Amino acid sequence: MVNYRYLGNSGLKVSEITYGNWVTHGSQVDDSAAIETVHAALDAGITTFDTADVYANTAAETVLGKALAGQRRESLEIFTKVYFPTGPRGANDTGLSRKHMMESINGSLTRLGTDYVDLYQAHRYDYETPLEETFQAFADIVRQGKALYIGVSEWTAEQLRAGHALAQSHGIQLISNQPQYSMLWRVIEGKIVPTSEELGISQIVWSPMAQGVLSGKYLPGQPVPEGSRATDEKSGANFIKSFLRAEVLEAVQRLKPIAAEAGLTMPQLAIAWVLQNKNVAAALVGASRPEQLADTVKASGVVLDADAMAAIDTALRGAVYDDPEDTYTLSPKTRIV
């Protein structure tokens, strides 16, 4: 079964392997397969589920709501997000304005079939809205009982610090950040993690398998596998491109004996690696088939010794993205419409 960790400086526990439905529900797989996979996640001990209103233009929330219908609500931790454009993409259908946030939380709750979410997250930083306005809206959403805690995604260290201070001034808790993090993408380690540790903010990391590259199935000098994320122009192809360089794929192949020595599959090694970071509360995983989760959850509770961690660093030398300055490029300077 899956272990639990506290989310930030709060009393909320989440399953350290959390189910995310970014590129699957409402797009990659049909609803019946998606529901079957969510049920497999529950059977495996995963109780924490992450989605966003923008995923499949709100359809992913609807599918997750259907999949969780009939479950004891108090036994689940449901997360969603707001920022990116949804609906007809009108002038106010995007961003972190009070108008968009208030309308978005109501839409999300309806689609998810719940009265509240455990965590409501700002999907990116909104440079066009005063931060005070955003946090006043967050505070009102919490006071109305529509969200229990608040979080953000891909904010810089300075943005986290400013947001944390405003949250405190409004009497609410900013307890999480959701960044990309994997053996290959380590840009949060320089500034984000130290700042978060100081402030009592946890990381809920997405793409711990580097869009599937750390599974080892993408081979140097070979065409990408048919039906893989790299062939899906609507979802993951854009995100995976930077990891498909020959030197990265060659480095990933050097991880195979390390995984074998640890008695792990390559996906298990990738997920176990991010969970070695004490500031990481949860690794987000997705699945298009129920059987994928049976392998994934075995990474929970795995402890990689110092020799294994050092061997991983040696194998990936020259293939890792670790420049903290990359964290300043992740929120659009103007709203996407």
Strand-pair category, 13-15 with 4-6: antiparallel
Q: Report, as residue numbers or ranges, the catalytic residues.
A: 55
pLDDT in tens, 98-125: 999 999 999 999 999 999 999 999 999 9
* pLDDT at position 263 over 80: yes
Token readout for 112 is 């998810």
* pLDDT at position 26 over 70: no
33 sits in which H/E element: helix 31-43
The pTM for the full model equals 0.94
The CA distance from 115 to 137, in Å, is: 17
| Percent of the chain with pLDDT strictly greater than 90 | 84
Q: What is the largest CA-CA distance in the chain?
A: 55
Mean pLDDT taken over the chain: 93
* pLDDT at position 230 over 60: no
Confidence band, pLDDT 50/70/90 cuts, at residue 288: confident
Confidence band, pLDDT 50/70/90 cuts, at residue 29: confident
The CA distance from 330 to 31, in Å, is: 31
Confidence band, pLDDT 50/70/90 cuts, at residue 228: low
DSSP classification of residue 264: -
Token readout for 278 is 């004490």
Token readout for 5 is 């960790």
Cα torsion for 273, 276, 279, 284, to the nearest 10°?
40
- The whole-angstrom distance between residue 102's C-alpha and the CA centroid of its chain comes to 23
DSSP per-residue letters across 102-169: HHHHHHHHHHHT-S-EEEEEESS--TTS-HHHHHHHHHHHHHTTSEEEEEESS--HHHHHHHHHHHHH
The residues with which 206 forms a beta bridge, in sequence order, are: 180
Class of domain 11-329: alpha beta
The CA distance from 71 to 201, in Å, is: 29
Backbone angles phi, psi at 322, to 5 degrees: -140, 20
Q: Taking residues 198-210, what's their average pLDDT? A: 97
| Percent of the chain with pLDDT strictly greater than 70 | 94
Backbone angles phi, psi at 23, to 5 degrees: -105, 5
Instruction: Write the CB contacts of 114 (distance below 8 Å, at least 6 apart in sequence).
Output: 65, 73, 78
Supply the pLDDT for residue 240. 84
The CA distance from 209 to 285, in Å, is: 8
Q: Taking residues 311-330, what's their average pLDDT? A: 96
Neighbours of 285 (CB within 10 A): 24
The residues with which 152 forms a beta bridge, in sequence order, are: 122, 177
pLDDT in tens, 47-98: 999 999 999 999 999 999 999 999 999 999 999 999 999 989 899 999 999 9
Supply the pLDDT for residue 63. 94
The CA distance from 270 to 304, in Å, is: 11
